[in-house]
Amino acid sequence: MLLITTCRKPCKNTRLFARNLSNLVPGAEYVPRGKKNIYSLIEWARKKGLRRVAIISDFKGNPGEVEFIKLDKREWDWAETIFRIKSVDYQKSKRKINAIKVDGELKKTVVDLFDIEESQEPDMVLKTDDGLMRFGDQMNIKLEIYKNPEE
């Protein structure tokens, strides 16, 4: 399960993207970042029983990167994989997806980072091919995946 938030002082497009993404990832919760520091976000996620935090940053007025934090009961660490967003195309969605199936070349990475528990009877199929994540007809994210240089 995943906590989705933004960088501090995000642009409107990044906030909208984060809210919509939280509706498409089962078990995900969106929380506005505000003045919360990383430690506050981690504690909030732990209290909710979440195992991942996704922080979405801006680039030129749009969502730019997604960095992930992996949590366990006592420790946390930045995931070495970062998603750099090249473009996003989505329809505003208020419908919460409760079950999803992931297919494609990025399946293992996406399931791990988004902490997705796949379902045999999904509401939606997330396809991950050729640097593109397709959440049914709701959202397409064109991205590059790279390793954190600090690792």
pLDDT category of residue 114 using cuts at 50, 70 and 90: very high
Domains of the chain, start order: 2-147 (3.40.50.10480)
pLDDT number for residue 151:
47
Chain-centre distance for alpha carbon 62: 15
pLDDT score of 28 more than 80: yes
Residue 97 class from Cβ within 10 Å (0-12 exposed, 13-18 middle, 19+ buried)? buried
More confident residue, 4 or 129: 4
Average pLDDT over every residue of 16-43: 93
Mean per-residue pLDDT over the chain, rounded:
91
> What letters, b where the CB count within 10 A reaches 16 and e where it falls short, cover 109-136?
ebbebbbbeeeeebebebbbeeeebbbb
Q: Which of 4, 45, 34, 8 is nearest to 21 (CA)?
A: 4
| Nearest CA-CA partner of 60 in 6, 22, 5, 14 | 14
Backbone angles phi, psi at 38, to 5 degrees: -60, -40
| Torsion angle, alpha carbons of 11, 34, 31, 48, to 10 | 160
CA distances from 101 to 20, 92, 98, 139 (A): 18, 21, 11, 15
Q: What is the dihedral of CA 9, 91, 123, 71, to 10 degrees?
A: -10
pLDDT tens for each residue of 66-103 = 999 999 888 999 999 999 999 999 887 778 899 999 99
As given in the structure block, the two tokens for residue 113 are: 């980072």
Which 8-state DSSP code applies to residue 9? S
pLDDT tens across 32-43, in order?
Answer: 999 999 999 999
